[in-house]
Structure 1
């Protein structure tokens, strides 16, 4: 594993065999730290399963994603392991604005994060990991196309690795695609529907753009969800929602689809109430 980011130490549930291999800790975790039921068939739950790190998939502003294979008697699967960095090694410039309306568990944690102590940085990293974990579970259960969340342990989330059905490789970002007019229209409807479903739960992605959406063939999958915005409690919610609509419509309009960010904003806002 690269050490240039000084990743926050993870939960000691792990039993490490060597630098890249460890025993699965799926059943050692609390039930709420495991993915929702019903589990997809590809999830490996063998108590003797072994996890092997295969390499880096991508690096990001606040976290890095690794490829991890879990193999056991009931099969093997490759997942995405997203690991959040400590506050001193991340670049999430508007994190406090996204978090408006969220509760921090104790005044000690609030003070530590404000002072940027080592403990405070660890709390902050865990807070963002937990926020994404809860968002993934919630959105999966209500039918929003997101990766299935397998487990969370400390600042690491294991989740479904979304693949391109034609190549078997990790699905590319929407931003890189040049679809046909028919596929372009289908993709817009998928994103529109995802935004409407989220709004019906009074939440918005908060950082939605073609870079936070994967194109898995004809299907889109929404990713990067630590900053999900509460449309009721966050005073800047309408600004985040409008930006989501702008980012989505700008990309689709640039490729020839007639869309209106104002119309989308009005429709999504109406769905929230």
Structure 2
């Protein structure tokens, strides 16, 4: 594993806030396609259902999800599906061929998921007021939240998969990996220089915080190495610094990161990491003309 990690340039972004004060969870074109099931959609549905790796994925590829995928194909974001990259409790990730190369497609389950864990991140967040326990509304809002969080993290100089498109419960984003395999997680590689690696992770945590975000589930399992860079995955559960449990989530992130690098032989203290992440950004140095006016 390379010892050199380049950090992204930070873009000028919007001030810290809550992008989705109100999230539109009304029916989309994908829902209408799923209900209408026109001839082309039925052929698309049959093709996906008959694909070998999707035969046992009925809980993932319900008709409305197929409608979302069909809409993404019609809009030119996806040309053909590849194989699964990962499976999780709430979502599966697949490779897909796009006009400009390979992409990753994250499909959040609706019918078969247990959203009790999600409530910890949703309750108390003003972006999710009024959604209640309706699974469809929760998933649509959650998917939109991940798309927004990825955009905000990227603008803040954090290396994450670039978000490309979103439709209902389906998120299309940059594929991190090569022809033969996905990018490897931090726990799957030999770390030649743990100190350098830790410093990059710490800087990314600080940049997330200064962008108004806290990952909420950060560990060696959602930090990957791609093209000599460390990349942060899975920002669906990330909350803003205004969330009532944000401090608790940040402390847990710090503990997970400190524990991992402690196993790599570093002396890392949870509290020191927390202090470094939350340290206020220094005031810019005044220009000579500003000095003259004081």
3-state SS in 2 of match to 1:68: strand
Give how far 1:10 is off.
2.9
Task: Quote the Cα distance in structure 1 between the aligned partners of 2:245 and 2:152.
Answer: 22
Q: Does 1:121 align with 2:121?
A: no
Say whether the 8 Å CA contact 1:13–1:25 is kept in structure 2.
Answer: no
Which residue of structure 2 aligns with residue 160 of structure 1?
A: 174
Number of residue pairs the alignment of both structures matches: 227
Which residue of structure 1 aligns with residue 73 of structure 2?
A: 23
Say whether the 8 Å CA contact 2:60–2:108 is kept in structure 1.
Answer: no
Which residue of structure 1 aligns with residue 182 of structure 2?
A: 170
3-state SS in 1 of match to 2:106: strand
Which residue of structure 2 aligns with residue 200 of structure 1?
A: 210
Give how far 1:244 is off.
0.2
Which residue of structure 1 aligns with residue 201 of structure 2?
A: 191
Give how far 1:190 is off.
1.2
Which residue of structure 2 aligns with residue 89 of structure 1?
A: 112
Say whether the 8 Å CA contact 1:253–1:259 is kept in structure 2.
Answer: yes
> 1:34-63 CA deviation, whole Å, 9 max, x = no partner?
xxxxxxxxxxx7xxxx61011111101210
Task: Quote the Cα distance in structure 1 between the aligned partners of 2:253 and 2:174.
Answer: 24
> 1:41-98 CA deviation, whole Å, 9 max, x = no partner?
xxxx7xxxx6101111110121000110113xxxx41111000011x42245431221
Paired residue for 2:258, among 242, 245, 249?
A: 249
Task: Quote the Cα distance in structure 1 between the aligned partners of 2:222 and 2:68.
Answer: 31
Change (3 A) 1:15 1:256: closer
CA RMSD of aligned residues (A): 2.5
> 1:145-176 CA deviation, whole Å, 9 max, x = no partner?
10011111111111111126xx8632111121
Give how far 1:239 is off.
1.0
Say whether the 8 Å CA contact 1:201–1:272 is kept in structure 2.
Answer: no
Higher-Rg structure is 2
Q: Does 1:132 align with 2:146?
A: yes
3-state SS in 1 of match to 2:206: helix
Q: TM-score, normalised by structure 2?
A: 0.70
Q: How is 1:1-273 mapped onto 2 (pairs within 5 angstroms)?
A: 1=54, 2-8=56-62, 9-10=64-65, 12=67, 15=70, 23-26=73-76, 51-71=79-99, 76-86=100-110, 88-104=111-127, 107=130, 109-110=131-132, 113=133, 120-163=134-177, 169-180=181-192, 182=193, 184-232=194-242, 234-271=243-280
Which residue of structure 2 aligns with residue 37 of structure 1?
A: none
Task: Quote the Cα distance in structure 1 between the aligned partners of 2:109 and 2:261.
Answer: 33
Which residue of structure 2 aligns with residue 40 of structure 1?
A: none
Say whether the 8 Å CA contact 1:65–1:80 is kept in structure 2.
Answer: yes
Q: Which runs of 5+ in 1 are unaligned?
A: 17-21, 27-44, 114-119
3-state SS in 1 of match to 2:161: coil
Q: TM-score, normalised by structure 1?
A: 0.75
3-state SS in 1 of match to 2:221: helix
Say whether the 8 Å CA contact 1:63–1:82 is kept in structure 2.
Answer: yes
Q: Which runs of 5+ in 2 are unaligned?
A: 1-53, 283-294
3-state SS in 1 of match to 2:59: coil
